[in-house]
Amino acid sequence: MWFSTFVIKNIARRPLRALLTVIAIAIAIGSVEAFVGIASSFERSFLAHFQDAQVDLVVVRKGARGNVLGNLLDEDLATDIRKVSGVKEVVPILEERANFPKQEIRGVALFGWVPGTTIFNHLEFPPGSGRNLKPGDKRAVILGTVAARNLNQKVGDTLDVLDTPCEVVGIFESKTPMESGAVIMPINEVQEFFGKEKQVSGFNIVLEKSNDKALIEDVRRRIETLERNITASPASEYVKASFQITMAKGMAWLTSVIALIVGFFGMMNTMVMSVNERTREIGILRAVGWRVGRVMRMILLEAVMLALVGAAIGTIGALILMGILTRVPEVNGRIDGTLQPVFILFGFLVAVGVGLLGGLAPAARAARMLPTEALWHE
């Protein structure tokens, strides 16, 4: 009989216990992959928002850390920023959240952009999907494909934004989930609706030479000297330091660690009970010539096999969970729903680690058994 076949038969002899252990590991590994994957997806979506718009620097109020809602700047600051050498374009933006009672949807991203600026260039309008916003548009909105589906809107429909009827002039496609789930309006109308005239969440800065790190650092430094309460950051740094991203990652890892601890103790409990119940069997194996190392390998391999099966089931569960989340209106515009292979690999490596650590103490106990004592065990 092959060694691995012998190990599998040992596991199959106690199907209920093996099943419960697999479920515990599946929940642990699935939680790690899903929560960390969601946090990473959110970060990628946020960063893609700036990369697609070719933004080099993001200027916000100091201390905002990505939480731009309520941390406003004076729109007239754009005039001074445009005078900084190396700056090609300054795009003021205003970000808000809007509720749509008729559609029973809350917290939809509402972006106020300046029509005609380069921030719109990456948005695509297929034939029959209307047009982009133009300078001079009033009471007009464009919707991402996800937002249009969630709000049940098409080109020519009227969408009530804060009880104000606005015409849907276009439905755009974007590679960025954050934009796909957003409503975009002229910035002056968002300012008017929310009572924030001449105020903005920040400025997206496009430089004359985007790949010149020295220029980016020089422009950043000079912009920050314009006012004491502003900070200018490269888009990637701004995203990583963002409050939402930091919180999402922190909660993801905290939840994952708790799940892994539960899975670890579940695995250890299973293997301890297995060794206790098989004391006489292990004694026979030792008596017929099994060495200490071979006994340990048997117990550890059982633990690792259970962990790997749990990891496979947990990965499937994580994929299903992320797929479901992309269909939830409040979430699907912020994550792309994909689980990167690196997180799946990480999940399996963690599973192997949980199996080895959870089975190590029981395996050592089994290996220390003297054949004579084990054979007399009842």
**Whether 177 contacts 168, CB under 8 Å:** no
* Every domain of the chain and the residues it spans: 3-45+245-375, 63-228
Would you state the pLDDT for residue 374? 53
Beta strand segments in 101-182, E: 105-113, 140-144, 158-161, 164-172
Among 228, 179, 214, smallest CA distance to 335 is for 179
Mean of pLDDT over the chain: 83
**Whether 371 contacts 282, CB under 8 Å:** no
Going by their DSSP bridges, the two strands 202-207 and 230-234 should be labelled as: unpaired
Q: How far apart are CA 63 and CA 45, in angstroms?
A: 22
Would you state the pLDDT for residue 72? 87
How many whole angstroms from its chain centre is CA 150? 21
User: What is the chain's length?
Assistant: 378
Among 208, 176, 154, 215, smallest CA distance to 332 is for 176
Tell me the pLDDT tens digit for each residue of 155-201.
Answer: 999 999 998 999 999 999 887 777 888 999 999 999 999 999 989 99
Tell me the pLDDT tens digit for each residue of 273-307.
Answer: 877 777 777 777 777 777 878 878 888 888 899 99
Q: Could you tell me the pTM of the whole model?
A: 0.67
Among 346, 314, 274, smallest CA distance to 15 is for 274
Query: In the chain, which residues have pLDDT < 70?
Result: 1-3, 6, 63-70, 243-245, 328-337, 370-378
Q: How far apart are CA 242 and CA 220, in angstroms?
A: 18
Question: Looking up tokens 């029981």, which residue turns up?
Answer: 362
